């Protein structure tokens, strides 16, 4: 069985948010080697944490989040709060680490022109 490549999420994205067991398994396998990109610290899930999570999901689709031991939100509540705030799905929670998945949102042509996304 071959390991899923980073760009293999397109088939899974079509089924979002109803992921099958095999979809979740593929996402867990892809996320196994990832390092946490977002940390929920002692202040809990703040606007800054939500914004950082949203940006990371826009860039990577699948991210690992770590919840600090002194965070006010429980290790199970913090991922759910982040998922609801960012429109993502909690794929897995192990200890104080979780995986979040959201298909990449396509930028509108207007945004690409404003940010210099197209040459011309």
Return the pLDDT at 78. 95
At residue 14, does pLDDT exceed 70? no
DSSP 76-97: THHHHHHHHHHT-EEEEEETTE
Per-residue pLDDT at 107? 63
Which pLDDT does position 113 carry in this prediction? Answer: 53
Task: Read off the pLDDT of residues 98-109 as tens digits, 9 standing for 90 and up.
Answer: 999 998 766 645
Confidence at residue 1, expressed as pLDDT on a 0 to 100 scale: 44
Q: What is the pLDDT of residues 46-87, one digit of tens each?
A: 999 999 999 999 999 999 999 999 999 999 999 999 999 999
- The pTM (predicted TM-score) of the whole model is 0.74
In angstroms, the CA 10 to CA 109 distance is: 21
What pLDDT does 20 receive? 86
Domains and CATH numbers, the chain: 6-104 (3.30.110.60)
Confirm if 54 and 88 have CB atoms less than 8 A apart: no
Q: Which residue has the tokens 């948010």?
A: 17
């Amino acid at each position: 069985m071959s390991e899923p490549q980073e760009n293999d999420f397109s088939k899974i994205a079509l089924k979002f948010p109803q992921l099958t067991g095999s979809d979740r398994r593929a996402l867990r396998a892809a996320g196994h080697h990832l390092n946490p990109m977002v940390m929920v610290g002692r202040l809990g899930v703040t606007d800054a944490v939500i914004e950082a999570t949203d940006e990371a999901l826009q860039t990577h689709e699948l991210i690992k989040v770590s919840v600090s031991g002194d965070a006010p939100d429980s290790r199970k509540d913090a991922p759910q709060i982040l998922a609801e705030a960012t429109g993502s799905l909690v794929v897995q929670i192990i200890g104080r680490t979780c995986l979040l998945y959201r298909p990449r949102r396509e930028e509108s042509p207007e945004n690409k022109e404003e940010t210099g996304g197209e040459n011309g």
